[in-house]
A and B are shown apart, each in its own frame.
Chain A
């Protein structure tokens, strides 16, 4: 009888192992297929004109130059705004607010802001900036992206500063260094790589965001670098072109999708490399 029980247990084990293998196989195959179709279709759209010409009207040749530049501008400026906000807030949480009621509340708020639906951020910035200015604009897009990037930078800054051993801070204080110098000269230096990783991850996250840009930067079919007017950007162009019935547009959408994915993956790998070097 005992042998039967053992047999049954082993049968169940083999079954579950096999099921897990099959599931892993299905998932890896599907995700692999996503990457494969993306590269296959994307590469066909990659030509010099993709980077040199602006988005075309349906049925004619063109590229994504205006969208690429718009995306770079908005991502760059968004991160430029988000970085000081994120780093100083992270500093407050890790250095001044370890056992502080305000810091606890901000930590909770930040966790919520870390992953709300990004479309809500779009609504929020629409309500403040777009209605305030009276029209859609590149600046509204910049602010929307900054709002998404800030919580990520806060979180990594706080985590990385918390990893800095207190002995270092105490050593600094023992030499008579004021607190702010301990933070800027000792803590920041020790946590530099980790904080840089946080910023890289924020760039990666922000550069693929589509939903918040729909209501803020909108889109612009023509070449423009004016942040006071609607600004073209890759995600929204991909969205519009992919949903269109025109083959040229769809092909460009795949090209743009490949560009964004490559950028996001490269940034993530770079972030990984900066942290692993430290270890």
Chain B
């Protein structure tokens, strides 16, 4: 009896286990397929009516059932752009500090603290933005911006209107803060991966710290840095909670960054459960599809770049 069981396991154990793992692998593949299918199928009623023009038409009117993705899409792009404008230089400054300037005993603790901050749920950033940063912006920062930059030609149009705190600018800043620990962690990692010999030879030639980072470290791992930035951008584009709190959810395009706006993810979070009517719901799913395609490409490029930097080295 015991022997029979053993023989059975010897004979069929391998194919059984292999098929088991293969089955789950195929399940994951199917999950991806189903995801794409659900997004296309769900948005079909809207796409059939509006066609590809859905992406570049503006207008969001549940009463007349006229929908276009342009305003939320632009909102997503603008807030992510502001986030990158803040996130990238600051992350670089932090990575520079952590790899070259900071005294050695402090490097590890600060790096760990930053990695932990990258794990804090985005809803925390959102709630902080709403209760702490929004009042500060409303009473101090925005009146100042309107009084100063608001009068400068050309740039001035970005800083018009009443200071209400919540809006595109605040959403972008919160997003920047949120992706910052993430980009910093990636940058620090690729900076550290630069062979010590390269660094030492540069210092040996008399290069300053800044020159070592700018002329040796950064060129050596630029692919990794760009990859990290792209992954951060991917997060910023799709981030929902940090933005929904502070964007104001207005389907209205304004040149002023101080005005409330909306992003794809914020529109979904705010409206999806309340949407009635086939076309309305389908249009929201359509927004999701646009966001998915956008982040898909950004993430795919970012991964490729990071992979290339890990393999290629000097290439």
Contact = CB atoms under 8 A, between A and B. Distances in A.
Interface of A: 9-10, 12-13, 16-17, 19-24, 26-28, 30-31, 33-34, 37-38, 41, 84-85, 88-89, 91-93, 95-97, 102-103, 105-106, 108-113, 115-124, 126-128, 147, 150-151, 154, 178-181, 183-184, 204-205, 207-211, 214-215, 218, 235, 238-239, 242-243, 250, 253-254, 257, 260-261, 264-265, 268-269, 272
Contacts of A31: 117, 177, 181
Interface string B80-99: 00000000011001101100
**Closest 9 A-B residue pairs measured CB to CB?**
A117-B238, A208-B121, A23-B93, A180-B17, A13-B208, A92-B21, A127-B38, A88-B24, A211-B240
B239 A20 contact: no
Given A102-B25, A242-B245, A253 B127 contact: yes
A123 B39 contact: yes
Contacts of B158: none
Nearest to A117: B238
B269 A119 contact: yes
A207 B123 CA distance: 11
Contact of A118 (B27, B119, B240, B296): B240
A7 to B, nearest CB: 11
Given A85-B27, A113-B31, A265 B119 contact: yes
A2 B277 CA distance: 75
Most buried by B among A24, A30, A106, A272: A24
Given A27-B94, A89-B24, A9 B16 contact: no
A105 B29 CA distance: 8
Contacts of B25: 88-89, 92-93, 97, 102-103, 106
Contacts of A117: 237-240, 265, 291-292, 295
Main SS class of interface, B: helix
Contacts of B299: 111-112, 115-116
Nearest to A38: B124
A10 B28 contact: no
Query: Chain B interface residue count: which class?
Result: 35 or more
B200 interface: no
A21 B123 contact: no
Given A154-B28, A178-B14, A180-B14, A96 B21 contact: yes
27 contacts: A21-B101, A23-B89, A23-B97, A24-B93, A34-B128, A37-B131, A37-B132, A88-B24, A89-B24, A109-B28, A109-B32, A113-B32, A117-B239, A118-B238, A119-B240, A120-B288, A120-B295, A123-B288, A124-B39, A179-B18, A180-B13, A181-B13, A184-B17, A214-B272, A242-B131, A269-B116, A272-B112
A208 B177 CA distance: 17
Interface of B: 9-10, 13-14, 16-18, 20-25, 27-29, 31-32, 34-35, 38-39, 41-42, 89-90, 93-94, 96-97, 101, 110, 112, 116-117, 119-128, 130-132, 177, 180-181, 208-211, 214, 231, 234-235, 237-241, 244-245, 265, 268-269, 272-273, 285, 288, 291-292, 295-296, 299-300, 303
Given A85-B27, A208-B121, A243-B245, A91 B21 contact: yes
A110 B35 CA distance: 13
